[in-house]
Structure 1
Amino acid sequence: MLGAAAQESFKCPDDFGFYPHHTSCDKYWKCDNNVAELKTCGNGLAFDASDSKYLTENCDYIHNVDCGDRTQLEPPIGTHHCPRLYGIFADENKCDVFWNCWNGEASRYQCSPGLAYDREARVCMWADQVPECKNEEVANGFACPAPGEITNSGTFSRHAHPDDCRKYYICLEGVAREYGCPIGTVFKIGDADGTGNCEDPEEVPGW
């Protein structure tokens, strides 16, 4: 490793500063008293070269850094749930779960009911809008009633969750999305098919 690093050289533009490597996005040069030292960000991080004065030493998540022509990266070093030691990664099995990895330690996060983690946007979105989310996972397999099955519902209807009284489904143009009532309330089925609201448990028969 020392020999490989010694083959590279860099002429410091100033006595002090932090400068991007010309080909590697996760490497940079640290200049101190006009002496250059090649540094490498943590696995899964990249050097943020957005400071035009080159005074900031900042390694950030790769997806937050504009690498431009600096396309090379160190080979991945992974742990359980972490393809790289640092980063935010989707769960391989559950589309509403993602992992925040820091130095190989994975912290589990779960999207709110009805949402799934979008790998590209890196945010929780409606599950039916996330391509990686299998159809049977969207709304946990709940299927909206067929057109005309519910009278006077139009394209919008609400339905109770089969197992959790705090949750319910909204069907909009045949697409089911799971919602959750605020804490301290439960879903009360309305008088007409496909209707209902979140109410105080005391207002819900059988609670």
Structure 2
Amino acid sequence: MAFRSCVGVVLLGCLVLASAAGPKPKGRKPVNPPVRTIAENERKAEQEAEITNDCPEDGFFADAEQCDKYYECRGGTIIEKLCPDGMVFNDYSPQEEKCDLPFNLDCSARPKLQTPIPALHCPRQNGYFSHEDPKECGKFYYCVDGKFNMITCPDGLVYNDKTGICTWPDEAKKKGCGAAEVFAFDCPPVNETFGLTHPRYADPEDCQFFYVCINGNTPRRSGCKLGQAFDDVNKKCEWARKVPECADWYKGQLTDAELEALENPPTPKPKPAGSAPSRRKPMRPHKAKAVEVDADEE
């Protein structure tokens, strides 16, 4: 077994900080920049983190080769452990025992993993996984202990295998799930200057939606709120009745009264002054004191 120890990283970090804080040499600055930056030094130190077979200290330490394996050290005793299938060990602190999703860690330096334990729709017992049908760009599975739950991305987004979340098609870069396949819309050709304004175009199939062409060539679908339509002349959302080609878009979906309420919501009546409840606690009523009467006075 071999541990990844961060002692070398800490020492090098201190040396770098000390050199940066020291007195600067007099005279003109050198023409050529330093060969290696501080960030590069830190990355190099992390890559060259000391590998040892002994417990550096009490705590939790990642395996040097396998991302979901780690060790607990207590009083010189080493206990080998595995994260649940589909999770990997997060070695951000020796004092924390934490297994995390692979999207949150870089396992390139220790790429090995335990043998998968697949289940229905779950390549591993835990995690987020793409739908089996590559055409189902916006659907994916969330698996916990081998039990799946299918999730659908909001309209216009696709599941991103690299991040485990729903993103725009051009960000996901998923084969067969690009903007052209998902939207069936092509941005009209424009010059570079106009493209930088991210022009908008009405959705030819749906009055409530429109496309924003990022840099003039990458479409992203967006929408107006309920009761509104995209005005392709003024390039903004407007109430549907004010957009001639979309005046009847909501017929059969919303009544005239509902559209009127959306456009002109009733104004809440102001509360009369002094009607706000007091925050002070009510005082308890005083108990009447019993008055003793002498027998002679009766």
TM score, norm. by length of structure 2: 0.50
Task: Give the structure with higher Rg (CA).
Answer: 2
Q: Which AA in structure 1 matches 2:82?
A: T
Q: 1:180 to 1:111 in 2, by over 3 A?
A: farther
Shift of residue 131, structure 1, vs aligned partner = 2.7
Shift of residue 87, structure 1, vs aligned partner = 2.2
In structure 2, distance between residues paired with 1:17 and 1:129: 39
Aligned to 1:50: 92
Q: Where in structure 2 are the equivalents of 1:1-207 lying within 5 Å? A: 11-14=54-57, 16-51=58-93, 54-67=94-107, 69-91=109-131, 92-132=134-174, 133-134=177-178, 136-139=180-183, 141-144=184-187, 156-162=199-205, 164-171=206-213, 173-182=216-225, 184-190=226-232, 192=233, 196-201=235-240, 203=242, 205-206=247-248, 207=250
2:140 match: secondary structure: strand
Q: Once the two structures are superposed, what CA deviation does each residue of 1:96-128 show, in whole Å capped at 9, x if it has no partner?
A: 333333323334444443333332344444324
In structure 1, distance between residues paired with 2:137 and 2:180: 11
Q: 1:168 to 1:67 in 2, by over 3 A?
A: closer
Shift of residue 178, structure 1, vs aligned partner = 1.6
In structure 1, distance between residues paired with 2:173 and 2:108: 27
Unaligned runs of 5+ in 1: 1-9, 148-153
In structure 2, distance between residues paired with 1:125 and 1:48: 25
Q: Is the 8 A contact 1:144 1:171 kept in 2?
A: yes
Q: Is the 8 A contact 2:180 2:186 kept in 1?
A: no
The RMSD of aligned alpha carbons is: 3.1
Structure (1/2) with the larger strand percentage: 1
Q: Is the 8 A contact 2:61 2:70 kept in 1?
A: yes
Aligned length: 183
2:92 match: secondary structure: coil
In structure 2, distance between residues paired with 1:186 and 1:104: 44
Q: Which AA in structure 2 matches 1:41?
A: C
In structure 1, distance between residues paired with 2:172 and 2:124: 23
1:137 match: secondary structure: helix
Structure (1/2) with the larger helix percentage: 2
Q: 1:203 to 1:103 in 2, by over 3 A?
A: farther
Identity over aligned pairs, percent: 31
In structure 1, distance between residues paired with 2:124 and 2:115: 9
In structure 2, distance between residues paired with 1:24 and 1:126: 32
Q: Is the 8 A contact 1:95 1:137 kept in 2?
A: no
Shift of residue 47, structure 1, vs aligned partner = 1.2
TM score, norm. by length of structure 1: 0.68
Unaligned runs of 5+ in 2: 1-52, 251-298
